[in-house]
Amino acid sequence: MQLYIHNQSRQLAGIVEAYDYFRWTRRYSRCGSFELRAIATDKNLELLRIGNIVRKDDDDEAGLIEFVELTGGESEFILVIGRFATSFLSRRIVWNTETLSEDLGAAIGTLLQNNLINPSDISRRIFGIEYAPATLNAPVNTQITFKNLMTAITDLCDGLDVGIKTVFEPTSGLFTITPYIGVDSQAVFSREFENIIEQVLTQSIMDYATLALVAGEGEGAERIVVPVGGGEGEERHEVYVDARDLRSEDLPDYVTALTFRGQTRLAELAKIEAFDVTVNPHGNLTYKLDYDIGSKIQAVSKRWGVALTARITAIEESYDKEGMSLSVTFGKPILTLTEKLRREN
């Protein structure tokens, strides 16, 4: 596996020499990330600079270096950390109120065109980025104002179970933002099949909700309130959703917009059930052939009495002197504190 570095003009600058370890984490509905620790050779010091682009020779995505740390002792090392090129979107906000009543594929295009690809203020444009439109059969009915552009788009994708990636074409230097729906796979991961080495099962209802009370415009008794979801007795978990930011004069069907907001919030607060596994590289399944990011697969543990059909939401590729290892996450993982705070604000 080769690591190519492109400069900020997106031209090939060279190949990384003598790295200690490299982690490349792909995510389905969210922006991926990477971490590289390399020997601080003159060549690596020249290549591994903030803003440069990291590309693997076997992947169509690329990462942007956002953090560099140099350490010295008997040996000198350089640590670089960054996110995949979808993070370009995090450099923009939704500048005005965007009213979205369309398929998610079209909604993403609207947000990108107005805030990054072809905004009215040319200084907001990032050149060399295109959008590959797709019909996703995922209706959107909402308004978004002043939200971070990447957060707005990935939240919609996450809530509607849609993937997103930014493909890099190294010859032209063009980035293409691409939404997609992962395929169904026949792959089954199980210790009994000897295709995983370690497994962690996580189940949680700590933030679970089955009914969202969505409150829109108005004051007091005149406020428009829509319940979304249901449940009875101890199986009913209620949550309040403030949707005062949605404006009825801009939305053709205000109740539908409030309902969509409630459905999106309930998707965020679904039950947590996830498998994290370390894949056996000598097992019966081949990465990117039998399964890939976004694939729907089965994870089975007969001893634990679990058979989970779930989407692969993250894959971490780790490279070191021992070779490559894979850590795969199936299902909905527990959010970090940072992710929880971002969703609540």
Domain 88-180 and domain 184-205+271-344 have a common topology? no
- Nearest partner of 199 among 189, 209, 207, judged by Cα: 189
Which pair of tokens denotes residue 181? 């729906």
Instruction: Tell the CATH topology of 184-205+271-344.
Output: Elongation Factor Tu (Ef-tu); domain 3 (2.40.30)
Query: Measured between alpha carbons, how far is 315 from 332 in angstroms, rounded to an integer?
Result: 13
- Nearest partner of 162 among 147, 178, 149, judged by Cα: 178
The pLDDT assigned to 343 comes to 53
The pLDDT assigned to 337 comes to 47
- Find where tokens 């428009």 sit: 224
Phi, psi (degrees; rounded to nearest 5) at 304: -85, -5
Burial of 208 (0-12, 13-18, 19+ CB in 10 A): middle
pLDDT in tens, 335-344: 554 555 455 5
- Nearest partner of 323 among 276, 281, 278, judged by Cα: 281
The separation between CA 104 and the C-alpha centre of its own chain, rounded to angstroms, equals 15
The pLDDT assigned to 308 comes to 86
The separation between CA 96 and the C-alpha centre of its own chain, rounded to angstroms, equals 24
Kindly give the pairing relationship between strand 238-242 and strand 163-169: unpaired
Q: Is 87 helix (H, G, I), strand (E, B) or coil?
A: helix
**Domain residue spans of the chain:** 3-85, 88-180, 184-205+271-344, 211-268
The pLDDT assigned to 342 comes to 52
Q: Report yes or no on whether pTM surpasses 0.95.
A: no
The CATH number of domain 88-180, selected from 2.60.120.330, 1.10.569.10, 3.55.50.10, 3.40.50.720: 3.55.50.10
Q: Is 67 helix (H, G, I), strand (E, B) or coil?
A: strand
pLDDT lower than 70: segments of the chain: 333-345
Q: What is the DSSP string of 125-184?
A: --TTEEE-----S-EEEEEE-S-BHHHHHHHHHHHTT-EEEEEEETTTTEEEEEEE-PPE
Kindly give the pairing relationship between strand 196-204 and strand 225-229: unpaired
The CATH number of domain 3-85, selected from 3.40.1000, 2.40.30, 1.10.20, 2.50.20: 2.40.30
The pLDDT assigned to 344 comes to 52
The pLDDT assigned to 333 comes to 65
The pLDDT assigned to 273 comes to 87
